Structure 1
């Protein structure tokens, strides 16, 4: 019997999808790809395959999950299996350099960015950027890993030479233009089946770790602002009646790169120019924000997978 196969490495980020698949009575199987064995001469089972591997897998001691998943997806695609977020999506998930090049190729504005390997080269890149404020981030990251804001080269030097320097897992540090928004928020644009679902306003006043998953929200992902019951505003707010003109270019970008499910994070500067700066092909959703507007992305995904399975 054909099934939906979910490729992943983090059960906490998969449980909500499991609930929706169970709710719809769909046949499925989870493939946890932190470790495994793959016989390249064998044939994959019948079904469709949904890739949910994250660039942040190494932060959960799943260092080689993306590499193993790449091998598994190559095997699946060789046998013409339907893979949701296949090779192209995984390539972008694990490299912001690849993301920015693909976004730029689609005519989408990104912050000015330099890539550096080596501590000396990081300083050199910051000098070449010629900007009073800039950020560093990891090329392969997730959950805001490695994101630091600096207002001087000396501050960057002190960080690099100090005990808190966080080296990127692939060795590539990005030095990037700091886009200062008039208001402390970014918007995360969610897409399912390549089509825009909704935009999420994310409060950045407390920092750059913007993972919307409920598992990320347990301790510090909600900040003091205003909720009807507690006079506290949630960190994540789904925007109603929101569809900016650039959504069409985002959808085209996803189509051109064969990505079916994703989130694209963007920030707007004081001149009203929006910059896309992150593409998440393993996207998560915040249940509190969804309950308020009555939209449920994991249910949408489950229905999408069901339709793909029926067509396979």
Structure 2
């Protein structure tokens, strides 16, 4: 049995992680969430399993692994494996509604939001908010499943014409459109529930603000810069990570230009770190991640 198994779906995003593991001589296996598994088999693929399943996987295959992976990771945990970003964390990652509820329970501000599971409830939900607003898929990825509406008539027409976004779990969020101060959101990355680094990400008003290598293509308009968030924002991100059980991942926050309030709105357990980290940060966070994984392997022995 190898020391570490990495469960992943995207074909390119984890090349930097694999390279960092190879440099350190870590014994690991690359595991895809395909094929079949036996619920009576109590043998995990490794003492430590690292979950790297992306919520955007549904964009690459209709037969996506999101819910399958939740069951599989839970199975391996029951079999005794230490799962980094385990089944419970994946379940939160797969629900923006649960993320917002958790964030609000910590006393942190979120965008005003209503959660529905029927198209018929979208207009009544919107009538409790103002315009413009957005309708979001509960499970999204790289900005997928977000549509902005500027008026009630526009929204009603979309409901009538079947023009709402769809979510693979059938749940939608109706949410106020927050004007972001400076046009950039802040993504705060954590490792082992502690602050790792932060970047400002600006996308020219687009919802696709993914900072991973595979998301940054010529002409995308995505701009990134390293920043030092305030102590309050760092503390808030760490509190969210602790509440989620987030071993590695990002928390996204935006400053509301209307009132200056920091509104947290997304938890991303898949964090693949920033593109070109040496250029943006001056160091490679994959090295810190490998340090963490090596420590977890030692604990599991």
Q: TM-score range by the shorter chain?
A: over 0.9
Normalising by structure 2, what TM-score? 0.92
Partner of 2:298: 310
Q: 1:150 and 1:290, CA in 2 relative to 1: closer, same or farther beyond 3 A?
A: farther
Tell me if 1:187 matches 2:186: yes
Q: Are residues 1:245 and 2:232 paired?
A: yes
- Looking at structure 1, the residues matched to 86 and 62 of structure 2 have their Cα atoms a distance apart, in angstroms, of 19
CA distance in 2, matches of 1:305, 1:296: 15
Q: Separation in 2 of the partners of 1:143 and 1:46?
A: 30
Partner Cα separation in structure 1 for residue 51 and residue 107 of structure 2: 26
Relative distance call for 1:277 and 1:63 in structure 2 (3 A) is farther
- 1: CA distance between counterparts of 2:280 and 2:44? 41
Relative to 1, partners in 2 of residues 1:290 and 1:311: Cα closer, same or farther, differing over 3 Å?
same
Q: Is the 8 A contact 2:183 2:205 kept in 1?
A: no
4+ residue segments displaced more than 6 Å? none
- Please, which runs of 5 or more residues in structure 2 have no aligned partner? none
Contact 1:238/1:289, CA 8 A, preserved across alignment: no
1:199-218 to structure 2, matched below 5 A, reads: 199-218=198-217
Q: TM-score, normalised by structure 1?
A: 0.89
Matched, 1:173 2:172: yes
After TM superposition, give the deviation of residue 46 of structure 1 in Å: 3.8
CA deviation after TM superposition for structure 1 residue 85, in Å: 0.5
| Correspondence 1:1-312 to 2 at 5 A | 1-33=1-33, 35-42=34-41, 43-61=43-61, 63-129=63-129, 131-162=130-161, 165-221=164-220, 223=221, 235-239=223-227, 241-270=228-257, 271-312=259-300
RMSD after superposition? 1.8
Q: Write out per-residue CA displacement over residues 60-87 of structure 1, whole angstroms, 9 at most, x where no aligned residue.
A: 1053411221121111111221111112
Q: Distance between the aligned counterparts of 1:98 and 1:177, measured in 2?
A: 17
Which residue number in structure 2 is paired with residue 230 of structure 1? none
C-alpha deviation, 1:289, in angstroms? 4.8
Q: How far 1:290 sits from its partner (Å)? A: 3.9
8 Å CA contact 1:109, 1:276 repeated in 2: yes
Is the partner of 2:197 in helix, strand or coil? strand
- Residues 256, 286 of structure 1: alpha-carbon distance in 2 compared, 3 angstrom cutoff: closer
Q: Is the 8 A contact 1:88 1:259 kept in 2?
A: no
Report if aligned partners of 1:9, 1:62 keep a CA contact under 8 Å in 2: no
Contact between 2:4 and 2:29, CA under 8 Å: does it hold in 1? yes
Give the secondary-structure state (helix, strand or coil) at the position aligned to 1:287.
coil
Deviation at 1:135, TM superposition (A): 1.1
Equivalent-residue separation in structure 2 for 1:276 and 1:255 (angstroms): 15
Deviation at 1:172, TM superposition (A): 1.3
**Partner SS, residue 128 of structure 1:** coil
Residues 144-193 of structure 1, C-alpha deviation per residue, up to 9 Å, x if partnerless? 11212222111222333447543222211111012112311100111111
